[in-house]
Every structure is written in structure tokens, then in C-alpha cells.
Structure 1
Amino acid sequence: MAADEAEKARGKRAALSFAAVALVLGLPLWWKTTETYRASLPYAEISALGSLQFQLTVPVSVVFAKGALSGAQQRRLPFADTKEKESFLNSKTSITSRYEMAYRSATATEQAALAMATVHETDIALLPLQENSLGALTVYVIPDTSLLLPQGVGVYIGTHRSAVMRCPQGSRDVLAATSARVQQIAQAMSFTTDSIAAALSDRVPTDQLGTDTRRPFKSSLGYEITFSLLNPDPKSHDVHWDIEAAVSSYVQPFLSKLSSVANFSVASQILYYAVLGVSPRFDEASSSFTLSAASLPHVINPVEARLGSSAASLYPVLNFLLYVPERIHAPLYIQDKDGVAVGTNAFHSPRWGGIMVYNIEHPAPAKASLPLRVDVDMVRVMEVFLAQLRLLFGISRVPLPEEFLLASPGSEGLADWELDRLLWTRTVENIATVSTTLTSLAQLLDKIGNIVIKDDVASEVYRAVASAQTAMLELASGHLGAAFQASKEAVTSSERAFFDPSLLHLLYFPDDQKFAIYIPLFLPMAVPILLSLVKILREAKESKKEPAKTD
């Protein structure tokens, strides 16, 4: 009898020991080893990035030449003034344009440059004297009687980051009138609300955007440019083009100027028997063939299938096609929506590229030996492609008053202030892209709770948030170069975090599938333990009742 009692006591202790080990040690150990590791993320900072309150500051130095101001006005120099204008694009996005103007007198060296014969020479001489920082402008104010500017020209905007203007006359407050004119010049050389709204096209209602908003390519860390020569009739035309020399002379200086914006690669190819997807219409009046504006959208798709560059590229591809018409369809001209022949005989497609039709000036006679050698005039071709390239990057001339004179950008095809104008929009666009990417990532991770968040992913998110915040602060301080670099770093980090392979939700099982895996493992062990505990509890209750009956 005593042995049975000892055996039961030993069984109870064994069952309690198994239960204690399973509950105290096994269950916490299993929970800890199977839990999803999720590094902490700055959700509050990401949410704050969703509200984009941009403050764009443009530092402007206003330099008065000798004789531009009266003695009393001259004694007020130097001093500073600030002009602000706030525009609300929507409930979460606003732009504050801030122009910090510092007024001073011209130095002796600047005065000597302003006394040169032509304003072009003055523009070159003033370049070493300016603060060569991105986004900073200098406006030189000359007397109204000066002969530096041509007759009828009130403002000259050079190829660098400076402008020359006549001092306003006929106003009681010359300094106030000068300030208003300088602000107008600064808007033309830096940014406008419309240009920033175009950069935020995904956040702005369509009624607030211009018609050409969708034309430029979206901001990217790199672009691939492909020049293609289409020869649909090689039996009739032996076409030669010196594309290497043309790219070196026209395109490469332009891309070198944009090297701080993105990385570029240039390629070229010749495609034979590549025809357009639309049959030209013969015009008896001019004895030529025409392509109407309505048929142009149908031209690209059949040709694009043979280009073969976009499918293998990680970056956006800009396509520029030179098409030499077939002999039976020559000459071929492009017409606009009004039926008038386009002067350049070319057209461009938003966020894709451009096509130019190149007619042979002296076609071969009917009995001439074929194929006819054709040497392409690359100067005429590259002028068209360079103009299209500017449009595809959003570099277009803004409407200005008639008294404004713009200098030619020269061989580089891009003025310094036009580069700054592009950097303003790209910086804002990058910050908006980072905000959208991180917000989407935070929502994804919040929705799928069993996705692992590794430390390197979290560090990229923190780096992206910090870089975006730095870019916002640098924009407010007027440091465009630092702001743009910070925005590029923010885009890079946010994309690394968003596209990290460890965040692929298909790698993780839903919770119900996890339980389906673990229950067959734990149930055979848990059932005996639970039955033993139930038996021990039942026996304990019965043992308490027996003494009460005995009494």
C-alpha cells in the first residue's frame, strides 16, 4: 500500500515536472526562437514626411553700378531685404518662395567689367567675380543711360548665374521698383510655382498643372540615350552618318553639364528594313507624302519593338530616331494639327524620345545605279535632337517680357541658371518620391506583421529619412547643391530599403499556416501532459473531500 502511494506521488511529480519544463522553459524558448525579428523604424518621422511644406530660398546679390542710384540712395547701401510668397498646392503640400536680396555697390573690378563694349564680354568678365554656388544669383544694376544693353532691352540674362538690368526710372522709390524687377528676374532664373507643381504632379490636382507637365522624364539616378538610324530601303539608299563625332560635339557637352544630375550612357545603332507603322498619304498639290498629327502616335509602337534597348535597361531610355523615307514615299513631311508642314520635320513623344524624318535633298534619277549614297547632315539633325533632349528633361524657356534678352547657351546647350532650374525641380521631386516610397513601405510592414525587418533595412530607412530632412533644411537655407545631393542620397536609400529581397512577402507564411505546421508537433506531447494535470487536479479535489466525510 505504501509502495503504491509512493509510486503515485512519483508520477505526480514527474507530470508536474514535465508541465513546468514545458510551460516555464519550452514555451518561452519556442516563442522567442520563432518570433519575427523586426527592427524599429521611424514611423513618426515617415508620417511627418507625408506633409511636404517646402521653403525654397534663393540668395540674390543685387549690385549697383556707379551712377545707378542717387547719392542719398547710395548711402543706404549695403542692406538686405526678403520677399516671400506662399502657395498651397493641396492640404499637405505647400511652397514658400523666399528671395533673400543683399544690396551693395559694385567693386572696382566689377565696375571695370560693366564698362566693356558689349554685354556678352561683360558676362564673361563677371563670371570669376561671382559666387559660383548652385542656386545663387547676381543681378547687376546699371544706369538707365548706359549703352551696355541694346536699345529696347531692359534685362539681359547671361549664360551663367548673373543678369544685367537697367535701373528703373520714373518711380518715387527706385529701390522698391528695383526689388520688384529683381524678383521677376530671380523667378525666371530659378523656379516658379508652376515648375515646382509640375515636379509634384502626382500630388497636385490636374487642373493646377500645365499641358506639358507629363512631357519631361521623371527623376532618375541614370538615363540611357540611344540614337537609331532607320533605313527601310537599303537597296535604294546607302546611308552614312558620323554619329560619334556628332555626339562628341553636340550631346557630350550637354551631358557633361548634367553630370551632377544623373549618370548617362549613349549608344547608337542602324536598323534596316524598319518601316513606320503608318502609311503616308500622298499630297498631289505638293507632290509629296505627308504624316498627319493624328497618325503620329501610331508611328512609335511598330518601331519600338525593334529598338530592343528599353527591355534590357535598368534606367529610363531616351530614344532618338532618324528616319530616311523609302524611295516610293519620298519626300515625306510631317504636318501639325492645322495641316501645316513642321519646319524641323520632327516630333517628340513625352517620356519616350523623338523622331526626325530626313529627306534626301537630291534624289536619284529613275535610271540611276542603286543604292544611292546618302551622307547625313549631322549639324541639322543634332540641332533638332538637342532641342528635343532639352524638352524631355524639362528644360524649356519660360515666357518673358519683350524687354528681356536671353543669351544663347552656346556649345554646351545649357546655361548655368538653367541647370539650377532643373536642380530645383529635381530636388523637390526626389523628396516627394522618398516620402511616397517610405510611406508605402511603412504601410506594407504594418499590414504584414510577420515580415522580418533586418537591421540593414532599418538603417537604410533611417538614412533616407535623415537625408530627406537634410534636403528640406538645405533648401530653406538656400544651399541648392547640398540639398540636391541629400535628396539623391535619400532616393538611393529609400529604394534600397523598399526593394530589399528580404521584404518579399511571399517568403513568409500566414499565421494559420504556421499553426498548421506546429500543432502536429506539439499536440502529441501536450495531450499526455494535460491529461496528467487534469488527473492530478481531480485526485487533489477527491482527497480534500475524504477528510470532510470522515469527520
Structure 2
Amino acid sequence: MPPPAVAAADASPATHTDSTSTSTSTSTSTSSQSSSNALDAVNARPQPPPETKESLWLRRSVILSFWAVVVLLGLPVWWRTTAIYRADLPLQGMTDWADGKSCKPVFPLRIAVEAPLSPQEAHHLLRTTQHALDDLNEFSAHHLRLMLADPPLPANASQQVVSDGIGSTRSDEDIALSIRLIPVETGTTPRSTLQPYSPTLDVYYMPNQIPSASSTGSPLATYIAQELHKIFAEEQALLASLLFSTSGVHTAKIKSLSAETAAELKRQSTRALKYAPTYHLTFSLFTPTFAPSGWDIESALQQYLTPLLESFSAISNFTVDTQVQLYATFSPSIHQPEYDEDLRSWSLRKEDLSGFINAAEWPLSPSIGKGPTVNFVLFVPDQNQSPLLVKENGGNSWLIPQWGGVFILNPPRDSDTPRILGKEALTPAFHTFSNQLLSLLGLPQTPASLPLRLSTLKRVRAASLIFSASSTLGALARLYQALPSIPVPDTVAKSVDLTTSHLQQACDHLREGRFQGALEHARTAEAAAEKAFFERSMVGQVYFPDEHKVAVYMPLLGPVAVPLVMAALKELKSIISGLRK
């Protein structure tokens, strides 16, 4: 039966096909699963055995021990070895000194009056004069106090005792001025004479000019008050200007101070040297030729300069040296001297005077000795260029502010230049040098009495040193607060204590009118303040920024800190994960 056979034949391939497909699918599935298992087996890495609690705590203990060594030992040692020692300073007291709160300088000047009168008349004259003097005074910090001298002051008294009428006594060194009342019968009265080399004012009067007990004033008292006010006018102006410029304290305007006087005071302060306990004076002889080759400098110094320097001994000390320089040429920066037909001499232009000193070739050292150097140059021009004068004023000398002075010594006409300059030839030069030295030291121009001018300079220097030391203390206090990274050794604290102690003593001496003692204490305070401010260890650290510290510590601490920090972070992360589970 063919149809069924065909059907069977047809059915057989279909069955085979289905069987083949099933087998292929099963084989593919088995192969894919085997490949996946093989891949998992390949990708799977051997895991370490679970960590025991003992090993876990051991690792954490090791890390903790490293951190304990760093925190408990390393950091304290580092902190101790790198700590900056800063001594304690009385910052508030230092600031008070700088602001002028700790000391209000006053200058009580005692005037001793020798009056050949009865005690009642003498005391009444003093009271009347004192009232007139107080009415004229416009600067409260500077006041004159009159007192009677008993017994009368002799002209050459060196240690006279005076009484102020209330039982107190003072030595002669505390007396700023002595007034001698001298009765006369002729001449214009009252009149006065101020002794040039003694702090003494002689007042001449007639007996009928003595005020009676019932009067409240008299021409004699008014005259004495006006003369005293005139004598100390420049000192009052100097002190008032100093108080205002250094401490900023408002002072009363002195009406008697004219514009010319104010300009002169400004010129004095501009050309004067800064105060120093010691000055070094250098006297130099320069000549463009071989003559003169010497000078009688020792005799000239002994006669003309030594007495002046001795009078300044209470204020400053001086050292002196001399030198001679031959073939000294003019500075190339100035015009060469030109012949002036009007002056019939060779002349230098005024604008060339500042460059007259040939600093490149002339041996003038500005730093000889401890103190500032004051140079005095004696220039002897060549015979072919003599006489040599300044064209504008025909002078032969000039002052160089805060440096020294120059004097051109022209040799005699129609004669050869002497080989040796004698003392007589040096006389005009040393008179000029003396005046220039007084200007450079800041000596006031008035009054005519040299001792009074020196005592004025003493008071001005004492006040300026007090202000300077106080300002230095204030600067040190600001530096201490602004730069906490600089070291402050104990020597600075000791210097500050020494400064404040001597400043207080100087201020007390000023109030008591003992100006020499005030100057000495102020000088010590200034030196101690400068020593404290310019301490070497502090100055060296002022210019050491924090970036330098980072550059030093990073290469040292970086390699050690990174492993410790990373291990600590990993353990913290593990602990946090364990707590979450």
C-alpha cells in the first residue's frame, strides 16, 4: 500500500530533524554552561581565609601604637624643640609711654634773686615779679620760679644754697639763672646786663623803684619779668615745637614767636645732627699742590676748640683726629673755579658748593668711631687760583647740614704758600669751625650767655631723648603684637624694664628741675630702648615667612604622614562598615 509507505517515508525525515534540533539545543546549552563555569573558574581568585579577631586587633593595635608614638612623643618633642620663646613684655605700659600718658614733661626753671633789701621788701618784690611773669607765660609746661638767694650770691659762686621762701634748699647746679639787683644813683633805670660767660643777669635800679608793701605792681617788677621772658623765649619755642612734633600734644601758640624766629628754628633742626652721647670730629687739610704740607693743629685745637668741647662735656663727649691730604683735586661733578673781574678773585658758584667735597678721592670716612663723624675741611687753593671765594656772597666758608663745614684759607697775595700753617694762620678757620660746630650740635642762637644756651640745649636734649625712647617702646610693642612668630628673648624684657625705669627717673628729674640728672637717665633709656628694638634674634626672624616653614617640613613629614593617615582612614572605614552590618 503505497500511500502509507510514502507517508511513513515522509514522516521519518521530519522526526529525524526534530531529534537533531533537540540534540543540538541541548548540546549548545551544555556547552554554554560549561563555558560560563570555566570563565567563573578562571575569574575567581583564591580568597584568604577569614581574619581572626586576634589578627584584626593586632593590626589595629600596631596602627594605634604608631599614632600614639606620633601624638604622645613626636608632637611634644617637635613642639618643644621648635617653639619660639617670647618673653612677657609690659605692652600696656610701653604703649602708655609712646602715647605720652606716663609722663607729661614739665620744665620748672629756678631763678635765684639776690636783692640787697629787707626780707619783707624782697619777698614782696618776688611776688610782684612772679605775678607779672606768670601773666607773660603762654606755655604752661615751661615756667620760671623766682626764689631768694640767701646769703647773697658771689660772682664766682660754685655751690650756693638758695631758699624758695618755704624752707626748701637747692644747690647752685639746679639754678637756671641768677639775678643780681644792683642799686645805682645815675643812668637810665631799670636796665640790665647779661653776663656772656656766666648765667647771671645784673639788673640796675634806683631805690625809689622798689614797690611798696601796698602796691600790686611796679615798673621794676614788670621790667624783670619782661627781660626773663625775652631771655627764655627761644627755649620755650624749642620745647613747644618739640612737644608738638614728637608727641602730638597740643601746645599753646606762643604769640611772641615771629615768622622769622619760626623759620630759624626750622633751619636749626634741619642742619643739626641727631643727638649722640659721643661725636667724632675730623679736621682735614686739603691742598691741590704740595704746600702746605703741615699745620700747627695741636696748638690751634688746644686754644680754640678744647674750651668749647669742655663746656659741652655735660651733654656729649668728643673724640678728635686730624689728617693732611696733598694734591687733592676738585670734584669732577662741579664747574672749575672761574675768575671774577668784579671780585678780582676766583669764584665758585653757590650751586657747586654741595658738590665741592670730592668724596671719591678725599679720605673722609663717615663712620669713624662709635658716634657720628663731624667733618671740618680746611682747603688751601693753588696760588694760581687764589683768592678763591663764593661768587654770590664773596664768602670763603659754608656749612653742610648734618655733615660738617668747609673753610677756604687763601694764601697771602704776592707771597708763596707757606709750607707749615701756624696757629695764627689757623685762627680765622677755627673761629669759623667753632661756630659751625655749635650750629651742628643744635645750640640755640639766643640768649647771649653761653652757659644759658648750653643749659637750654641740655633741657631740649633731655626732652628729645625721652620722646625718642618712648617712641621706640611703642614701636616695639606694635612689633610684638603684629608678628607673633618672632622670638623675644629675656634680654629684650630686661632692656624694656631698664628703659621704663630710667624714663620714669628722667621724668621725675624734669619735674624737680634737675636737668643734668634727667639728661643722664634719658640717655640711658634711649640706649636701652634701641638695644631692645634691634635685638639680633628678633631682627633675623622678622623676614622669615611661613612659606619657608612649609618648604622645610613637607619633605620630612610627608613620607611619614601619608602611610599613617591612609592606614587610619582604612581602619575607620572598616569599623564603620562593621557597625552598619
When normalised by structure 2's length, the TM-score is 0.74
Q: How far does the alpha carbon of each residue in 1:69-126 deviate from its partner, in whole angstroms, 9 at most, with x for none?
A: 8x86346488788949998xxxxxxx7433252433652x54xx4xxxxxxxxx33x4
User: How many equivalent residue pairs?
Assistant: 496
Tell me the secondary structure at the aligned position of residue 230 of structure 1: strand
Match of 2:98 in 1: 50
Amino acid aligned to 2:462? T
Alpha-carbon distance in 1 for matches of 2:221, 2:520: 35
State which of 136, 159, 162 in structure 1 corresponds to 2:197.
159
Question: How far 1:218 sits from its partner (Å)?
Answer: 0.9
RMSD between aligned residues: 3.7
Contact 1:138–1:163 (CA under 8 A) maintained in structure 2: yes
Question: How far 1:347 sits from its partner (Å)?
Answer: 1.6
Amino acid aligned to 1:454? P
Question: How far 1:243 sits from its partner (Å)?
Answer: 0.1
1:252 aligns with 2:283: no
Alpha-carbon distance in 1 for matches of 2:360, 2:453: 31
Match of 2:160 in 1: 129
Match of 1:9 in 2: 57
Match of 1:549 in 2: none
Tell me the secondary structure at the aligned position of residue 238 of structure 2: helix
Contact 2:383–2:417 (CA under 8 A) maintained in structure 1: no
Q: Against the structure 1 CA distance between its residues 471 and 154, is the aligned structure 2 distance closer, same or farther, given a 3 Å change threshold?
A: same
Match of 2:409 in 1: 358
Match of 2:141 in 1: 97
Match of 1:118 in 2: none
Match of 2:394 in 1: 341
1:325 aligns with 2:364: no
Match of 1:41 in 2: 89
Tell me the secondary structure at the aligned position of residue 68 of structure 2: helix
Question: How far 1:428 sits from its partner (Å)?
Answer: 1.8
Tell me the secondary structure at the aligned position of residue 306 of structure 1: coil
Alpha-carbon distance in 2 for matches of 1:14, 1:133: 86
Structure 2: gaps of 5 or more residues: 1-48, 162-169, 251-258
Q: Against the structure 1 CA distance between its residues 132 and 297, is the aligned structure 2 distance closer, same or farther, given a 3 Å change threshold?
A: farther
Tell me the secondary structure at the aligned position of residue 261 of structure 1: coil
Contact 1:246–1:382 (CA under 8 A) maintained in structure 2: yes
How high is the sequence identity, in percent, across the aligned residues?
Answer: 24
Alpha-carbon distance in 2 for matches of 1:74, 1:372: 63
Contact 1:221–1:262 (CA under 8 A) maintained in structure 2: yes
Alpha-carbon distance in 1 for matches of 2:159, 2:350: 48
Alpha-carbon distance in 2 for matches of 1:255, 1:173: 44
Q: Against the structure 1 CA distance between its residues 524 and 85, is the aligned structure 2 distance closer, same or farther, given a 3 Å change threshold?
A: farther
State which of 319, 323, 326 in structure 2 corresponds to 1:265.
319
Q: How far does the alpha carbon of each residue in 1:477-498 deviate from its partner, in whole angstroms, 9 at most, with x for none?
A: 2221121111111121122223
When normalised by structure 1's length, the TM-score is 0.78
- The within-5 A match list for 1:36-115 is 36-52=84-100, 54-67=104-117, 73-74=121-122, 76=124, 83=134, 96-104=140-148, 106-107=150-151, 109-110=152-153, 113=154
Alpha-carbon distance in 1 for matches of 2:120, 2:173: 34
1:525 aligns with 2:560: yes
State which of 335, 340, 352 in structure 2 corresponds to 1:295.
352
Tell me the secondary structure at the aligned position of residue 228 of structure 1: strand
Structure 1: gaps of 5 or more residues: 88-94, 114-122, 365-369, 401-405, 408-414, 547-551
Question: How far 1:167 sits from its partner (Å)?
Answer: 5.3
**Greater helix percent: which structure?**
2
Q: How far does the alpha carbon of each residue in 1:365-400 deviate from its partner, in whole angstroms, 9 at most, with x for none?
A: xxxxx77545341223222211211111122432x6
Question: How far 1:39 sits from its partner (Å)?
Answer: 1.2
Alpha-carbon distance in 1 for matches of 2:579, 2:352: 97
Tell me the secondary structure at the aligned position of residue 449 of structure 1: coil
Contact 2:159–2:173 (CA under 8 A) maintained in structure 1: no
- The within-5 A match list for 1:92-491 is 96-104=140-148, 106-107=150-151, 109-110=152-153, 113=154, 123-124=155-156, 126-129=157-160, 134=173, 136-143=175-182, 145=184, 153-166=191-204, 169=209, 173-174=217-218, 177=222, 180-181=225-226, 183-184=228-229, 187=232, 191-194=235-238, 197=241, 210-234=266-290, 237-277=291-331, 278-300=335-357, 302=358, 305-335=361-391, 339-342=392-395, 345-364=396-415, 373=419, 375-376=421-422, 377-398=425-446, 406=448, 415-491=450-526
Q: Against the structure 1 CA distance between its residues 457 and 310, is the aligned structure 2 distance closer, same or farther, given a 3 Å change threshold?
A: same
Q: Larger deviation: 29-38 or 352-361?
A: 29-38
Contact 1:167–1:178 (CA under 8 A) maintained in structure 2: no
Question: How far 1:358 sits from its partner (Å)?
Answer: 1.2
**Greater strand percent: which structure?**
1
1:534 aligns with 2:579: no
Q: Against the structure 1 CA distance between its residues 540 and 294, is the aligned structure 2 distance closer, same or farther, given a 3 Å change threshold?
A: closer
Alpha-carbon distance in 2 for matches of 1:50, 1:396: 27
Q: Against the structure 1 CA distance between its residues 488 and 327, is the aligned structure 2 distance closer, same or farther, given a 3 Å change threshold?
A: same
Match of 2:46 in 1: none
Q: Against the structure 1 CA distance between its residues 457 and 2, is the aligned structure 2 distance closer, same or farther, given a 3 Å change threshold?
A: same
Higher RCO structure, 1 or 2 (CA under 8 Å, sep 6+)? 1
Question: How far 1:452 sits from its partner (Å)?
Answer: 1.4
Question: How far 1:226 sits from its partner (Å)?
Answer: 0.8
Q: Against the structure 1 CA distance between its residues 132 and 341, is the aligned structure 2 distance closer, same or farther, given a 3 Å change threshold?
A: farther
CA radius of gyration, larger in: 2
Q: Against the structure 1 CA distance between its residues 200 and 291, is the aligned structure 2 distance closer, same or farther, given a 3 Å change threshold?
A: farther
Alpha-carbon distance in 1 for matches of 2:481, 2:553: 25
Alpha-carbon distance in 1 for matches of 2:410, 2:417: 15
Match of 1:117 in 2: none
